[in-house]
Structure 1
């Protein structure tokens, strides 16, 4: 095997962990576990890409279906929208509004409106196939971000699991070493007290 000081020697050490003659069995176990977990983290990359690709494809199909089945109409507000909203900041206040549906009938319903929009102002309202108020359709860009997010979260989940497993193994090995060290000191103390 190449000398440990050379580049090949360092790679050889990484491929054969725990070969130091002074290492204890727990050290060798921990080194081998670290090598296996590192390999698992690397192999998780293609799995995370596959998960992200599947989520992207699913969200893109949902975006196409929603774009084909949802209709945008302009609605006139019948009251002022409040300036602030109690609850989540991203949520818009709901205000009565009216619009003409595809049958020519006037509909009145509470719809989300940007805070501070004045009475008589117009807002976009999305309707589903049945004519019920719904949210805007998902976008292809949103599908890309969902796919990337799912892939990254999958890989981070594997990484976190491996880090936690390595930390637990390290604590266990350290505890075993400390117990063995304490037993050895107790044995030596007994021998010294008898001499």
Structure 2
């Protein structure tokens, strides 16, 4: 197993071909491309951090809007939830329930609940301004999670794009090198066969 010092030395030789007389133009191009993509990945970090910060601010604005527009209520199940589960079914089921809107009206609809919940069980639900069921509002921790996810995903996207371009260029250079080797061997073979 190679030591980390050996890996570092190999990476340095790959990136810095220098004045090595055995280095071909393709080797130098590959080294420059590798350095360029490493710098792109490095300089993408603050850009993606800024993107994450903007996402966080936008999600916090949504959280503030939703905090005033969404209301938590209790829905009361009107029937028992099924207990058994067949293959492919989810743990949660939808069961008819009733709830009271913020302006005092009773509504009936289906809510998600756990299997085996009995009639009369109170289920916490979120309602919009009209009293319809809606998703829970965005929280600060949810906004932070979204921001981190966006920043990391975007940075990984930049890394993947750099890796794909580098792999494509390296593959093309490898094919060109192999073709050059084949031509050189054919020339050498002709010269050896004359002797």
Task: Report the TM-score range of the alignment, normalised by the length of the smaller protein.
Answer: 0.7 to 0.9
1:1-195 mapped onto 2 (5 Å cutoff): 17-83=17-83, 84=85, 89=90, 92-195=92-195
SS in 1 for 2:114: coil
- Write the distance in 2 (CA, Å) between the matches of 1:158 and 1:172: 21
SS in 2 for 1:32: helix
- Write the distance in 2 (CA, Å) between the matches of 1:194 and 1:135: 83
Q: 1:108 to 1:67 in 2, by over 3 A?
A: same
Shift of 1:80: 1.1
String of CA shifts for 1:8-46, please: whole Å, max 9, x gaps.
xx9x97885443221011101101111111110101101
**Structure 2 segments unaligned to the other structure (5+ residues):** 1-9
Q: So what's the TM-score if we normalise by structure 1?
A: 0.85
CA-based RMSD of the aligned residues comes to 2.5
SS in 1 for 2:76: strand
Point out the more displaced range, 103-112 or 41-50: 103-112
**Structure 1 segments unaligned to the other structure (5+ residues):** 1-9
Q: So what's the TM-score if we normalise by structure 2?
A: 0.85
- Write the distance in 2 (CA, Å) between the matches of 1:67 and 1:19: 64
Q: 1:88 to 1:54 in 2, by over 3 A?
A: farther
Shift of 1:133: 0.9
Point out the more displaced range, 56-65 or 98-107: 98-107
Q: 1:69 to 1:40 in 2, by over 3 A?
A: same
The count of corresponding residues between Structure 1 and Structure 2 is: 186
